[in-house]
Chain A
Amino acid sequence: GEQVEQLPSILRVQEGSSASINCTYENSASNYFPWYKQEPGENPKLIIDIRSNMERKQTQGLIVLLDKKAKRFSLHITDTQPGDSAMYFCATTGGYKVVFGSGTRLLVSP
């Protein structure tokens, strides 16, 4: 089936530095690209998203970039804090079907 590759699987950074997560997708019909943050034992929460008519979006220390030609999108977290430690999932949506990436465990050390 359709896949979304997400890298890295584990990301360790120091507090105050930046963190970047990359995803590549297969389906050129995908037109909506959300990012979710999931804390242990909890449900995923939408943190930022981008639609296919945009190349860049920024909100509250988060930046998402979309390169449709390369079928690649990425999440950049600036000035990371210990509270940013969690699992992060990218996803692609084309209509009602959603495909999630395999996830990135972000660990922010003080």
Chain B
Amino acid sequence: AQTIHQWPVAEIKAVGSPLSLGCTIKGKSSPNLYWYWQATGGTLQQLFYSITVGQVESVVQLNLSASRPKDDQFILSTEKLLLSHSGFYLCAWSPGTGGSYEQYFGPGTRLTVL
């Protein structure tokens, strides 16, 4: 069975500080990986997706970047946090090629920027 792990569970950071969030998928080779952001009480906004190691596509520009250094790992980062970065960050994976498959979400990381 596939498992998806995100770290850290929660973060409280200062405006202007750097950030790195991680996501690991176990039990599935070559998954499609995704990052989403959800404001408190809001909907999900897709940020990035990756279909293979070393390749990441940006969907929206929110002063964030993403990388996929290993087949099972997806990293979200920024060098300088903004207040607007606060929210719930969710990593997801999907099987198959060509997209348009069901996505399974990790437990999420709750980020508070002060």
Tell me the B94-114 residues at the A interface (CB within 8 Å). 98-108
Instruction: Assess whether B51 is interfacial by the CB under 8 Å rule.
Output: yes
Q: Considering the complex, give the chain A residue whose CB is closest to the CB of B104.
A: A46
B43 in contact with A103 (CB, 8 Å): yes
Chain B interface helix/strand/loop/mixed = loop
Instruction: Assess whether A16 is interfacial by the CB under 8 Å rule.
Output: no
Chain A interface category by residue count = 20 to 34
A43 in contact with B43 (CB, 8 Å): no
* A-B contact number at CB 8 A: 57
B44 in contact with A44 (CB, 8 Å): yes
Contact partner of A45 (CB less than 8 A), chosen from B57, B98, B99, B105, is B105
Q: Which residues of B contact A100 (CB under 8 A)?
A: 43-46
Q: Mark A2-26, 1 if CB is under 8 A from B, else 0.
A: 0000000000000000000000000
**How many B residues, CB 8 Å from partner?**
24
Chain A interface helix/strand/loop/mixed = strand
Q: Complex: how many Å from CA A32 to CA B46?
A: 16
Given A32-B100, A43-B90, does the pair A96, B32 have CB atoms closer than 8 Å?
yes
Q: Considering the complex, give the chain B residue whose CB is closest to the CB of A102.
A: B43
Q: Taking each of B32, B42, B51, B102, which has the highest tally of chain A beta carbons within 10 Å of its own beta carbon?
A: B102
Q: Complex: how many Å from CA A89 to CA B45?
A: 12
Contact partner of A96 (CB less than 8 A), chosen from B42, B44, B57, is B57
Q: Provide 11 A-B residue pairs closer than 8 Å at the C-beta atoms, listed in order of the A residue.
A: A32-B100, A43-B106, A44-B44, A46-B103, A51-B100, A89-B43, A89-B44, A91-B44, A95-B99, A96-B51, A98-B46
